[in-house]
Amino acid sequence: MPRYFIEVAYKGTHYSGFQVQQNAITIQSVVEDALQIFYRQPLQLTCSSRTDAGVHALQNFYHVDTDLPLDKKVYNLNALLPNDVVIKNIAQVKDNVHARFSGEAREYKYFITQDKNPFLEETAWRYVFPLDIEILNACAAVLFEYQDFTSFSKKHTQVNNFNCDIMLSQWIYENDCLVFNVKANRFLRGMVRGLVGTMLLAGRGTISVADFRNIIEAKDCTKANFSTPAHGLFLVKVTYPDDIYTLA
């Protein structure tokens, strides 16, 4: 049975996350509803990864197995979706490619604004404390020295290990925001928000860079700061091998 990748982007403000949940409206539930209306039969999607309630994505993926010839022209499907969710592309992939397990890396950005801006109210965290970007980048550089990020995984996470290979970690300015940009082969539950919240403590002088390093080495999630709200976080890109697509 042919397998298709469905690429989506969304503003997650009004949704209970990416993956389907009982008694909740999620990105997956509205996409599946649109597909069912258009194709007149249910199609069950498999997610590339989870994003929490309120988190946004510039790129995320589902895969679906179906004998239906899915229409690559997505205009009609998008007409059935809410304005804050869009299907960007549908493409057939090789049968053994998995939206989650075939991903080689994921990239996130967390946006912070220090000024009141009504246009960023739902897509950036207003953080009014003075911040030292050099200290923030010193903390970001520390991440390359470690693989075990137990301290930045929320409790009750069912994973075999807490190891992540960090490929990119930096604080930059972008679109009038201070942005943490991070890329890794995988992320733990709550990891980006925990990293941001803890680094911000260093950036405002509450803890030192050495303290930040100690928090990583403690392998204790009670030491990190997970209070960072969801609405500043974007999944930017999911990277797959170049040869996943078929010629169909």
Which residues are part of a known binding site? Answer: 108
Which residues are part of a known binding site for substrate? Answer: 108
- Checking 220-225 for CB contacts under 8 A at 24+ apart, the result is 220/150, 220/151, 221/150, 221/151, 221/152, 221/153, 221/154, 221/155, 221/194, 223/151, 224/151, 224/152, 224/194, 224/195, 224/197, 224/198, 225/194, 225/197, 225/198, 225/200, 225/201
Bridge partners (DSSP) of residue 91 are 5
Nearest to 203 by CA among 137, 128, 141, 144: 137
Q: Which residues of 88-123 are buried (b: 16+ CB within 10 A; e: fewer)?
A: eebebbeeebebeebbebbbbbbbbbbeeeeebeeb
Q: Which residues of 159-175 are buried (b: 16+ CB within 10 A; e: fewer)?
A: eeebebebeebebeeee
Nearest to 236 by CA among 145, 176, 194, 174: 174
Catalytic annotation present for 243: no
- Which of the residues 52, 84, 148, 211 is marked catalytic? 52
Which residues are identified as catalytic? 52
